[in-house]
């Protein structure tokens, strides 16, 4: 009898859709490299709170963003579609219109079907509105039109105007008598720029980032007005973290019987790197190290909130990054000079913007104590693009026809019942790459082999490239010439996926 009970219990546990769906928290960091956290070998900063997710869950060492920059990765995470299939999904300007339209199925809209309440807090960078956006009017469409119940967002990035938060459909704290104007084509208003007034800057720009000065930092693009609504970079981690914790608190107080989805998108560790004074100087790596320490604090606050509400056991926490690391991304913040022995991309070649593994192979930590064995490691190939189909599988809600076409249901991979994950994955940078098992094929790419501004290898080459990551994780030996049939197979498969 006991054996029967335990057999039935095991069968129930192993069916993928669960009766009591977990809360889901995705912590989607900006520009954090695989090796930037101490549990992945980072030496310049200790990240005990981030490490805790791995210690109490699983460290996926072959986990990917779908692209080596932000907008396409975020697009794929939410829609389950490769961004290169859709025009207009490159790095979005600060005034881009909504890239994910209300007719689309997203992680949030799908979870809503199973009763989840969702909030997105922090970086958006997926465009807002339909026409040229008026920041002084209600803003729509936006996150609330693609499944989120509430939002508190940085519309684009910390280094682009407008430097204000958007709460639901309006700029937070805006004084209507001081309207916001934004331009990416030329100066507006009479605010000083970084180009003309470097003496006003608390951090100098290096490339780009020389337009309107906000809070002593010059940005990409021009902005005037909206003074009462402008963010203070030093406070950003506090503001966003408090919002995230408040969402959890309020959810517990008012919607206890519903699960929630928190999509927490810190500004850290993107440029400009401006830590709160309590984190300034806590590492030897300058601002880039200090904002990793700040990020670790934010993560700790969220984990603590889950503990306090006794939600830890049945909350799926995913910690990952939208692309690989970069040191000098446009400001003189000593990231290069002070890196020391810390290797942001870990064992992988390249970084942000790169077709080499460093572009998309990012921290990928998953904790769900009810289902995932603590302290695990997995080398299964998995991508953020799989969240949509995997969560749909988890809640037992089929995807509508045509939705999430590149997303795979990998719940069993996440819970470690499957150790293989994807058969193959397309990685997007200036050119496309295909991963299949230990093999990495990089399609010929036009453009320079090195992005000189950021000093990162792009992976572009007129030649076909093939690497065996099992023996050569650093992609140093191009085997294309000695393994012609493998190259042909992978090239054909990539073409087929592109044509699908
Ligand atoms: C680049 C910016 C870089 C960063 C990036 C977007 C310049 C010269 N460089 O164009 O600083 O903002 O866009 O980063 O302007 S991402 O993480 O949002 O993709
Ligand atoms: Ca990014």
Phi, psi of 250 (to 5 degrees): -70, -35
Which residue lies with its CA nearest to atom 15 of ligand 1?
208
pLDDT for the residue 16: 63
**What does the block give as tokens for 88?**
């207009």
| Closest of 262, 365, 369, 264 to residue 314, by C-alpha | 369
pLDDT for the residue 1: 46
Q: Cβ(464) to ligand 1 under 6 A?
A: no
Taking the CA of 71 as reference, the closest ligand is 1
Q: State the DSSP string of 449-493.
A: SEETTTTEE----SS-EEEETTT-TT--S--TTT-HHHHHHHHHH
330 CA: nearest ligand 1 atom: 11
| Closest of 287, 282, 247 to residue 267, by C-alpha | 287
pLDDT for the residue 162: 98
69 CA: nearest ligand 1 atom: 19
Q: What is the pTM of this model?
A: 0.96
**What does the block give as tokens for 306?**
């889950």
Taking the CA of 30 as reference, the closest ligand is 2
Å from CA of 93 to ligand 1 middle: 9
Å from CA of 299 to ligand 1 middle: 24
Å from CA of 27 to ligand 1 middle: 20
Which residue lies with its CA nearest to atom 12 of ligand 1?
159
Beta bridge partners of 67: 428
Å from CA of 36 to ligand 2 middle: 14
Task: Name the DSSP letter for residue 400.
Answer: P
Å from CA of 429 to ligand 1 middle: 14
Q: Which of 157, 265, 453 to mutate to test the pocket of ligand 1 (most atoms within 8 A of CB)?
A: 157
Domains of the chain, each with CATH number or no CATH: 2-170+251-414 (3.40.720.10), 425-499 (3.30.1120.10)
CB 200 within 8 A of CB 192: yes
Q: CA 275, 264, 153 angle in degrees (round to 5)?
A: 80
Å from CA of 458 to ligand 1 middle: 15
**Averaged pLDDT in 10-residue chunks for the chain of 500 residues:** 47 61 98 98 97 98 98 98 98 97 98 98 98 96 98 98 98 98 94 97 98 98 98 98 98 96 98 98 98 99 98 98 98 98 98 98 98 98 98 98 98 98 98 98 97 98 98 98 98 97
């Amino acid at each position: 009898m006991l054996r029967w009970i335990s057999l039935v219990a095991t069968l129930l546990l192993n069916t993928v859709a669960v009766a009591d769906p977990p809360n889901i928290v995705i912590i989607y960091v900006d520009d954090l490299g695989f090796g930037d956290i101490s549990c992945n070998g980072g030496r310049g900063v200790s990240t005990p709170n981030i490490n805790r997710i791995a210690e109490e869950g699983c460290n996926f060492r072959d986990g990917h963003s779908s692209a080596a920059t932000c907008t396409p990765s975020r697009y794929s995470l939410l829609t389950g579609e490769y961004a290169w299939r859709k025009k207009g999904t490159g790095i979005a300007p600060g005034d881009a219109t909504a890239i994910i339209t209300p007719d689309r199925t997203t992680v949030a809209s799908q979870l809503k079907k199973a009763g989840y309440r969702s909030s997105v807090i922090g970086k958006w960078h997926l465009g807002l509105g339909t026409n040229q956006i008026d920041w002084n009017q209600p803003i729509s469409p936006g996150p609330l039109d693609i499944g989120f119940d509430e939002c508190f967002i940085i519309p684009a990035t910390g280094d682009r105007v407008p430097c204000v938060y958007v709460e639901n459909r309006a700029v937070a704290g805006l004084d209507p008598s001081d309207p916001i104007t934004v331009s990416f084509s030329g100066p507006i208003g009479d605010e000083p720029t970084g180009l003309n007034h470097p003496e006003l800057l608390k951090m100098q720009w290096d490339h780009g980032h020389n337009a309107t000065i906000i809070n002593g930092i010059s940005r990409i693009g021009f902005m005037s007005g909206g003074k009462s609504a402008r963010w203070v970079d030093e406070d950003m981690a506090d503001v966003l973290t408090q919002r995230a914790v408040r969402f959890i608190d309020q959810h517990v107080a008012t919607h206890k019987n519903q699960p929630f989805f928190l999509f927490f998108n810190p500004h850290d560790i993107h440029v400009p790197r401006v830590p709160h004074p309590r984190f300034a100087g806590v590492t030897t790596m300058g601002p880039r190290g200090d904002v990793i320490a700040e990020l670790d604090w934010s993560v700790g606050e969220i984990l603590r909130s889950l503990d306090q509400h006794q939600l830890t056991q049945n909350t799926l926490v995913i910690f990952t990054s939208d692309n690989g690391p970069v040191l000098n991304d446009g400001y003189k913040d000593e990231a290069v000079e002070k890196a020391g022995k810390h290797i942001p991309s870990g064992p992988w070649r390249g970084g942000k913007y790169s077709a080499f593994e460093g572009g998309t192979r990012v921290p990928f930590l998953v904790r769900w104590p009810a289902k995932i064995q603590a302290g695990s490691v997995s080398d299964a190939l998995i991508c953020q693009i799989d969240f949509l189909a995997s969560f749909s599988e988890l809640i037992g809600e089929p995807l509508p026809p045509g939705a999430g076409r590149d997303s795979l249901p990998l719940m069993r991979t996440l819970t470690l019942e499957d150790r293989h994950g994807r058969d193959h994955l397309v990685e997007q940078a200036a050119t496309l790459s295909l991963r299949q098992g230990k093999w990495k094929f990089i399609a010929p790419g036009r453009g320079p082999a090195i992005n000189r501004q950021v000093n990162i290898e792009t992976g572009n080459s007129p030649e076909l490239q093939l690497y065996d990551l099992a023996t050569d994780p650093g992609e140093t030996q191009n085997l294309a010439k000695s393994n012609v049939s493998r190259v042909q197979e992978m090239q054909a498969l990539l073409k087929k996926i592109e044509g699908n």
